[in-house]
Amino acid sequence: MTNSAQRHPLLRQRDGHHARVTFEELFFDLVYVFAVTQLSHGLLHNLTPTGVVQTLILWFAVWLGWQYTCWVTNWFDPETPRIRGVLFATMLLALVMAAAIDGAFEARGLVFALAYVAMQVGRTAYIVFELGPDHPLSANYRRMLGWVVIAACFWMGGAFTEHWTRAALWAAAVLCEYVSPMFGFALPGLGRSRTSDWTIEGGHLAERCQLFVIVALGETLLATGAMLAEAGRWDISLVAAMFATFAGTLAMWWLYFGTSSKDATATITKSSDPGRIGAYFHYIHAILLAGIIATAVGNDLVMAHPHETTKLGYALILSAGPMIFLTGCAIHKRVVHGCVPVSHLVGVAALAAFAPVMLQSELWVAGWLTSAIMLAIGLWEARKQRGRGGPHTLKH
pTM of the predicted protein model? 0.86
pLDDT tens for 208-235 read 888 889 988 988 888 888 888 887 788 8
Closest to 266 measured CA to CA, from 178, 390, 378, 381: 390
pLDDT of residue 153: 96
Listed in sequence order, the residues at least 6 apart from 40 whose beta carbon sits closer than 8 Å to its beta carbon are 219, 223, 293, 296, 297, 300
Angle at 339 between CA 334 and CA 344, to 5 degrees: 75
pLDDT of residue 151: 95
Contact (Cβ atoms closer than 8 angstroms) between residue 154 and residue 172: yes
pLDDT of residue 100: 95
Weakly modelled stretches of the chain, pLDDT under 50: 1-6, 391-396
Listed in sequence order, the residues at least 6 apart from 239 whose beta carbon sits closer than 8 Å to its beta carbon are none
Distance, in Å, from the CA atom of 23 to the CA atom of 31, rounded to the nearest integer, reads 14
Distance, in Å, from the CA atom of 260 to the CA atom of 290, rounded to the nearest integer, reads 18
Closest to 100 measured CA to CA, from 89, 87, 88, 116: 116
pLDDT of residue 395: 38
Domains of the chain, by residue range, sit at: 18-193, 202-387
> Which CATH number does the domain 202-387 belong to among 1.25.40, 1.10.3470, 1.20.1410, 1.10.10?
1.20.1410
pLDDT of residue 280: 78
pLDDT of residue 195: 66
Listed in sequence order, the residues at least 6 apart from 296 whose beta carbon sits closer than 8 Å to its beta carbon are 36, 40, 216, 219, 220, 223, 321
Distance, in Å, from the CA atom of 132 to the CA atom of 16, rounded to the nearest integer, reads 26
pLDDT of residue 260: 58
Listed in sequence order, the residues at least 6 apart from 151 whose beta carbon sits closer than 8 Å to its beta carbon are 120, 173, 174, 176, 177
Distance, in Å, from the CA atom of 370 to the CA atom of 248, rounded to the nearest integer, reads 7
From residue 125, give the alpha-carbon distance in Å to each of 128, 129, 173, 381: 5, 6, 18, 45
